[in-house]
Amino acid sequence: MKNPYLPVSAEILEVIEETPNIKTFVLKPKEEIPFRTGQFMELTVPGIGEAPFTPSSSPQVKEKLDFTVMNAGKVTSALHKAKPSDKVGVRGPYGAGYPLDEFKGREVLIVGGGVGLAPLRSFFLTLIEDIKLYQKITFCYGARTPSDIVYKNLVMKEWPKLDKKKVALRLTVDAGDKTWKGKVGLVTTTLDNLKVDIGGSVAVVCGPPIMMKFTTFKLIDLGYKPEQIYLSMEKNMSCGIGKCGHCMMGKYYVCKDGPVFTYDKIKDLPAVWD
């Protein structure tokens, strides 16, 4: 039987500086690693350790995997020093990912904050590859400042060119600068005057815990039911395969039962937003 902890070696093809503390790593694994959007993988930096990340590329792209990583500590700062042609390890995919079948025929509201755009980019790319399956997509994204916006080219140039009848984009920053002509305000303000059929839609949220908390509360105020709200929970992880218990949230293993949960499943658990 294959050792589930054994990573596949992957070469870094490209390192893209997204923001002052976020980089995207384009990897070429030695063997293909198929995944469903929203599933995560463990990346190993040799000699340093491993940490979980969600691919930010579409599952349709088989030969390469993109990971968008914020510099947060030991493993991520080592990754941020890596250069093209360096090698890392990849094991996975793990978790359940986004239940796309439940979204078909409905409107999809996406709300992202900061590096939470990484899994949402993969998710959004997956939706627009088969856009006819969904009524409409409304994509709200907030960053702290204009320079903290990830995937600037996609978010500010490419995605606004998509068919406006099918895709509505709402972008905001907490604090603008001299160059910024767009909206200023927390990401929750992008939910004001929402033009979404709330009863016929699902809301998919990913970002820092505080952002997910206030976004969820606002969605509930707007009339979303907890079972319509899909949250990506980022708990500390180790094994990634339901063995070590590091990621437990109430009765759930986030690595196995998640990382995506509807709010009704987790809302009464202690420390959901920690």
Ligand X SMILES: Cc1cc2nc3c(=O)[nH]c(=O)nc-3n(C[C@H](O)[C@H](O)[C@H](O)COP(=O)(O)OP(=O)(O)OC[C@H]3O[C@@H](n4cnc5c(N)ncnc54)[C@H](O)[C@@H]3O)c2cc1C
Q: List contacts with ligand FES (CB under 6 A).
A: 237-240, 242-247, 253, 255
Q: Which range touches ligand X (CB under 6 A), out of 67-75, 168-176, 182-190, 266-274?
A: 67-75
Q: Which does 155 bind (CB under 5 to 8 A by kind): ligand FES, ligand X, none?
A: none
When asked if residue 234 is in the footprint of ligand X (CB under 6 A), the reply is yes
Q: Name residue 79's amino acid.
A: L
Three-class secondary structure of residue 149 per DSSP: coil
Q: Which range touches ligand X (CB under 6 A), out of 68-76, 121-129, 187-195, 260-268?
A: 68-76
Per-residue x/- marks for ligand X, 147-186, CB under 6 A?
Answer: ----------------------------------------
- DSSP designation for 156: I
Q: Name residue 35's amino acid.
A: F
Burial class (CB in 10 A: 0-12, 13-18, 19+), 249: buried
Residue from the set 14, 17, 60, 72 that interacts with ligand X by CB under 6 A: 72
Count of residues in the chain: 274
When asked if residue 260 is in the footprint of ligand X (CB under 6 A), the reply is no
Q: Which range touches ligand X (CB under 6 A), out of 46-54, 136-144, 165-173, 197-205?
A: 46-54
Three-class secondary structure of residue 174 per DSSP: coil
Cα–chain-centroid distance for residue 261?
13
Q: Which is nearer to ligand FES, 127 or 233 (CB)?
A: 233
Other Cβ atoms within 10 Å of 54 Cβ, number = 29
> Pairing mode, if any, of strands 107-113 and 136-143?
parallel
Do the beta carbons of residue 241 and residue 256 sit within 8 Å?
A: yes
When asked if residue 111 is in the footprint of ligand X (CB under 6 A), the reply is no
Rg of the chain on CA atoms, in Å: 18
Three-class secondary structure of residue 32 per DSSP: coil
Residue from the set 24, 37, 58, 76 that interacts with ligand X by CB under 6 A: 76
When asked if residue 115 is in the footprint of ligand X (CB under 6 A), the reply is yes
The nearest distance, CB 187 to ligand X, in angstroms, is 17
Residue from the set 12, 19, 38, 53 that interacts with ligand X by CB under 6 A: 53
Do the beta carbons of residue 41 and residue 91 sit within 8 Å?
A: yes
Residues that bind ligand X (CB under 6 A): 40, 51-54, 68-70, 72-76, 115, 118-119, 234-235, 237, 259
